[in-house]
Amino acid sequence: MALHIPLVPHPSHPPHMVERVEVSADIRHGPSVLAYRVTGGMPKLPAPAPPERTDGLWRHTCFELFVRPAGGEGYFEYNFSPSTQWAAYRFDGYREGMRDQPLAAPLIEPLADGIRVRVDLGGLPAGVWQVAVTAVIEEADGAKSYWSVAHAPGAPDFHAPGGFAIEVPAG
């Protein structure tokens, strides 16, 4: 499903120099492609690293994808760093039962203004998905902004059910 997705910053953590984060995505039950683009002041980027599974990527500039099968409590979280490191997790419910999700290493291609990610979502449950596309942006001055299609009330929380605002039809 090809989409153009403008993200909005969380109101309690506005960006200092970044003006816009947009995602062009072809999200499907199988090979998927997401291109995250940043406009304005460029974020602080983590140093290039081997393309391997790494925890804690969200502590710095990181682009993310959350997928929840419609009608379910469980969901999946994918983190993609401009360093080319990545992470994939499965949750049984809201921030509960977190564990690594098996995943063939995604291809993360650094771009001048973001990253392009090729990831195979074919191992996820069939059916309709509710999706959240998000980004943590760390700026050169250390400020962090949290970008999403939709934000739940309160502190930034990409796991909140209200953020899963995009519907991807069944395969």
Concatenating the DSSP letter of every residue in the chain gives: -EEEEEEEE-TTS--SSEEEEEEEEE--SSEEEEEEEEEESPPP-PPP--S-B-S-GGGSSEEEEEEEETT-S-EEEEEE-TTS-EEEEEESBTTBS-EEPP-PPPEEEEETTEEEEEEE-TTSPSS-EEEEEEEEEE-TTS-EEEEESS--SSS--TTSGGG--EEE---
- Amino acid identity, residue 65? L
Give the right CATH number for 2-168 from 1.10.357.10, 3.40.50.970, 2.60.40.1190, 2.70.150.10.
Answer: 2.60.40.1190
As a whole number, mean pLDDT of residues 49-69 equals: 97
Measured at the CA of 10, the angle between CA 8 and CA 37, to 5 degrees, comes to 40
How many CA atoms, within 13 angstroms, populate the side-chain half-sphere of residue 103? Answer: 29
The domains of the chain are located at: 2-168
Measured at the CA of 61, the angle between CA 24 and CA 1, to 5 degrees, comes to 20
Q: What confidence score (pLDDT) does residue 2 get? A: 84
Q: What confidence score (pLDDT) does residue 100 get? A: 98
Global pTM value: 0.96
Q: What confidence score (pLDDT) does residue 1 get? A: 64
pLDDT higher than threshold 80 for residue 171: no
pLDDT higher than threshold 90 for residue 42: no
Mean pLDDT of the residues in the chain:
95
Q: How far apart are CA 41 and CA 145, in angstroms?
A: 13
All residues at 6 or more sequence positions from 56 whose CB lies less than 8 Å from its CB, including other chains: none
Percent of the chain residues topping a pLDDT of 90: 94
Residue with token string 């947009």 = 22
As a whole number, mean pLDDT of residues 37-56 equals: 94
pLDDT tens column, 69-127: 998 899 999 999 999 999 999 999 999 999 999 999 999 999 999 999 999 999 999 99
Q: What are phi and psi of 121, to 5 degrees?
A: -95, 15
Q: What confidence score (pLDDT) does residue 89 get? A: 98
Residue with token string 């195979």 = 120
Residue 44 burial (CB < 10 Å; 0-12/13-18/19+)? middle
